[in-house]
A and B are shown apart, each in its own frame.
Chain A
């Protein structure tokens, strides 16, 4: 039975039904929509979810390429000089993790149509995100004033590249948070609920990525 969702198509390929057959009756042509999607708000919301998933794959590959280089260089170099991580970084991590928590709380409020609760928590999330970035800048300044520049050693260079790249991507996430928080969603093709869900994927991904990078830098120093 030719379906319109990707999962149906995968079944078609695997089970070799042989093509042909009537499409489901009673719906006008055009939209590919489809049942079985989890994101509310229509097929246009699903396309944003897929887009952000592919975007996360690309960003992951970007970081993993650098991590691969980091691992190889670290293993091959007996005189590796790592960077002592400033204590500020642990505080920043807690800030970022709590921002993920407030983000989820905000989404729950939105689901319960608590507009005010959502707005407050969303604002808090954005503020926590900005605090994280400011904290990173402070940490870089601390290291620079201690004489740890990127040119000092490969360890320092990787530290800066990882943290700067992560912060730049997080800034993109903050822009998304601001967009979802400030935009009027009345006549939009995507509901606020869907937009918040897609943003949450990205934000949690950035969170997890940071924890991973921090662990890598901590264990690799």
Chain B
């Protein structure tokens, strides 16, 4: 008779049998997305019921009466346990990496609020489009400017700045045992270049088209410069500033992800800068790199598109890799199990980054390329499924048999897995030229990338925020409000973007469903978008209230995690490790190991101390 650790694991195993069975039935193609939504809702409801069963409470530092030997050891590392919660770790011009990281996060928060407002504006415009027209909506330049601004803000300042620069700058030195980044001056410079580019790009949306797009380009170049400097800083820090004993195999997977992303950013932002320089030259100096040159009757088709997509496809991996790292890390910690095949996960991260350089043509199926190019690009784009599948296997392998603790951070991490899986599946179809080349509407692509990139990455950012909030601010975010926010957002984004997939499928179908139905669908999308954005108010209330009046959490290691940042006070002192930088003795995922009344072994616990605790 098989034994399961708990009834949740028993249920998960049942689902692993039930879901494939469901899909093996021969349902027509159109029912695909319905079945997916339903089974996902079912799965999520199941997890929700799991929440109501309280597992043994070792997630927070036990109350005074029950102090484990591990807690006593926590206080021996020369750090005061009660740091007063501080805001900025120094002034706004400080080059302390924690201050810079937080500044990037504030910048990202400002951008996400603006971006969401813009998206609502776009949705209202789209649903007000005349019921009879199936072509692209309002083609006014104003609408195009708003779309460009929404995209730029979200992709550059939220998806690139927050996971990589925001959390990366704050956590990399702490997790590798360094006092500071390799080049503190560069940290500050990269932030201010990013801030300047935010101002430039935002202003550009309000200028006349020619001046506006030149200013936008200038903003992008400024952003690229900032990102190149940040990437340089992060890479050198990871290579050179590690504490004694922190070998590369012992790095937490979050640091691996930030490091790989830094190398990628270095490469792709150089390419973007090169193409922007040429475009600037065309706009300001009268050259003809991209237009048809006066003297030549032959020009290379879509050259700007090729360059832009070479950058942009790799850019989505720059946005996603830190999120993969964060989610993998959190899944391990909240299921109290070591990562399943850690080295494979790191290799999958590298592969995802590498593949991203090879598939720019997948965005150009409708641009009139050589008809044989889709053979290559479709194959390469589909092969991206390989590292993604490896990561999914790693995540499920980590969760399997774990004592899953459904805190808000864990819910967001699981939500990420769900969104990445379902959004990624539509990517398999989009990688094929027949679908992407014109037989489906734009809404299918929009739905796909919003699920995988927009919302999934946002869930990862939120998970990271809930997880590291005690460390950053010495307070705790409200879990109830957080969970409510999660469920509303989870339901909302699925309703919104899965319906968008559907819209994309029927939009250009030859036996088109009634025009009124499509109009109705568009209106539905707008209503859901409004509701989902409204639900985000819960998060902002939670965030600001907790920041100002939240329950103080001065425990060094409330989540009982193993990495080095949990060995310092919350929030960390200026020089990070007050009593001396710790020495590292083991990898980052020694979880589920019974020791001194707890179930983890911190990275910095010396063998002598370990022997004493056993």
A→B interface (CB under 8 Å): 2-4, 6, 8-10, 12-13, 19-20, 22-24, 27-32, 43, 46-47, 50-51, 54-55, 57-59, 61-63, 65-66, 69, 72-73, 76-81, 149-151, 153-154, 157, 160-161, 165
Residues of A within 8 A of B580 (CB): 28-30
Asked if residues A66 and B182 are in contact (CB atoms below 8 Å), the reply is: no
Asked if residues A72 and B236 are in contact (CB atoms below 8 Å), the reply is: no
Cα separation A43 to B244 with both chains bound (whole Å) = 13
Residues of B within 8 A of A78 (CB): 298
Asked if residues B271 and A62 are in contact (CB atoms below 8 Å), the reply is: yes
* B270 interfacial by beta-carbon distance below 8 Å: yes
Residues of B within 8 A of A61 (CB): 266-267, 270-271, 274
Q: A69-B303, A157-B281 are in contact. Are A9 and B288 (CB under 8 A)?
A: no
Asked if residues B273 and A69 are in contact (CB atoms below 8 Å), the reply is: no
Name the residue of chain A whose CB is nearest to the CB of B272. A65
Cα separation A59 to B288 with both chains bound (whole Å) = 23
Residues of A within 8 A of B278 (CB): 66, 69, 161
Q: A3-B247, A69-B278 are in contact. Are A54 and B235 (CB under 8 A)?
A: yes
Q: How far is the CB of B226 from chain A (nearest CB, A)?
A: 13
Q: A9-B248, A19-B586, A51-B183 are in contact. Are A32 and B240 (CB under 8 A)?
A: yes
Cα separation A58 to B269 with both chains bound (whole Å) = 8
Residues of B within 8 A of A2 (CB): 245, 247, 250
Asked if residues B244 and A151 are in contact (CB atoms below 8 Å), the reply is: no
- Selecting from B40-48, B289-297, B401-409, the interface stretch reads B289-297
Name the residue of chain B whose CB is nearest to the CB of A55. B232
**A29-B177, A29-B243, A58-B267 given; 12 more Cβ-contact pairs under 8 Å:** A4-B242, A29-B244, A32-B240, A50-B236, A54-B236, A57-B266, A58-B232, A61-B267, A62-B270, A69-B289, A72-B303, A157-B281
21 examples of A-B residue contacts, CB within 8 angstroms: A4-B242, A4-B244, A9-B247, A19-B586, A29-B583, A50-B235, A51-B183, A51-B232, A62-B271, A63-B274, A73-B300, A77-B298, A79-B295, A79-B296, A151-B285, A151-B286, A151-B287, A154-B289, A157-B281, A157-B288, A160-B285
* B515 interfacial by beta-carbon distance below 8 Å: no
Residues of A within 8 A of B178 (CB): 32
Cα separation A78 to B298 with both chains bound (whole Å) = 8
Asked if residues B273 and A62 are in contact (CB atoms below 8 Å), the reply is: yes
Residues of B within 8 A of A31 (CB): 244
Give the size of the chain B interface in residues (CB under 8 angstroms).
Answer: 58
Name the residue of chain B whose CB is nearest to the CB of A81. B295
B→A interface (CB under 8 Å): 177-179, 182-183, 228, 231-232, 235-236, 239-250, 266-267, 269-271, 273-275, 277-278, 281, 285-289, 293-300, 303, 307, 343, 580-587, 607
Asked if residues B248 and A151 are in contact (CB atoms below 8 Å), the reply is: no
Asked if residues B274 and A65 are in contact (CB atoms below 8 Å), the reply is: yes
B interface: dominant SS:
loop
Residues of A within 8 A of B247 (CB): 2-4, 8-9, 12, 19
Residue picked from B246, B296, B307, B582, most chain A C-beta under 10 Å: B296
Q: How far is the CB of A171 from chain B (nearest CB, A)?
A: 16
Cα separation A148 to B582 with both chains bound (whole Å) = 63
One of A29, A57, A63 near B582 (C-beta < 8 A): A29
Residue picked from A4, A9, A58, most chain B C-beta under 10 Å: A58
Q: How far is the CB of B280 from chain A (nearest CB, A)?
A: 10
Q: A27-B244, A51-B183 are in contact. Are A72 and B300 (CB under 8 A)?
A: yes
Asked if residues B583 and A23 are in contact (CB atoms below 8 Å), the reply is: yes
Q: How far is the CB of B313 from chain A (nearest CB, A)?
A: 15
Residues of B within 8 A of A58 (CB): 228, 232, 266-267, 269-270
Residues of B within 8 A of A10 (CB): 248
Name the residue of chain B whose CB is nearest to the CB of A2. B247
Cα separation A3 to B245 with both chains bound (whole Å) = 7
Q: A30-B580, A149-B286, A157-B287 are in contact. Are A13 and B248 (CB under 8 A)?
A: yes
Cα separation A65 to B304 with both chains bound (whole Å) = 12
Cα separation A151 to B77 with both chains bound (whole Å) = 66
Residues of B within 8 A of A22 (CB): 585, 607
Name the residue of chain A whose CB is nearest to the CB of B263. A54
Residues of A within 8 A of B270 (CB): 58-59, 61-62, 65
Cα separation A73 to B607 with both chains bound (whole Å) = 63
Q: How far is the CB of B297 from chain A (nearest CB, A)?
A: 7
Asked if residues B298 and A76 are in contact (CB atoms below 8 Å), the reply is: yes
Name the residue of chain B whose CB is nearest to the CB of A72. B300
Residues of A within 8 A of B246 (CB): 32
One of B240, B285, B295, B585 near A153 (C-beta < 8 A): B295
Asked if residues B289 and A80 are in contact (CB atoms below 8 Å), the reply is: no
Q: How far is the CB of B576 from chain A (nearest CB, A)?
A: 11
Asked if residues A50 and B296 are in contact (CB atoms below 8 Å), the reply is: no
Residues of B within 8 A of A23 (CB): 244-245, 583-585
Which 10 pairs between the two chains have the least Cβ-Cβ distance?
Answer: A151-B286, A157-B287, A65-B274, A9-B248, A23-B245, A61-B270, A30-B581, A47-B240, A62-B270, A29-B581
Residues of A within 8 A of B236 (CB): 47, 50-51, 54
Asked if residues A62 and B274 are in contact (CB atoms below 8 Å), the reply is: yes
Q: A12-B248, A79-B295, A153-B293 are in contact. Are A54 and B286 (CB under 8 A)?
A: no
Asked if residues B274 and A66 are in contact (CB atoms below 8 Å), the reply is: yes
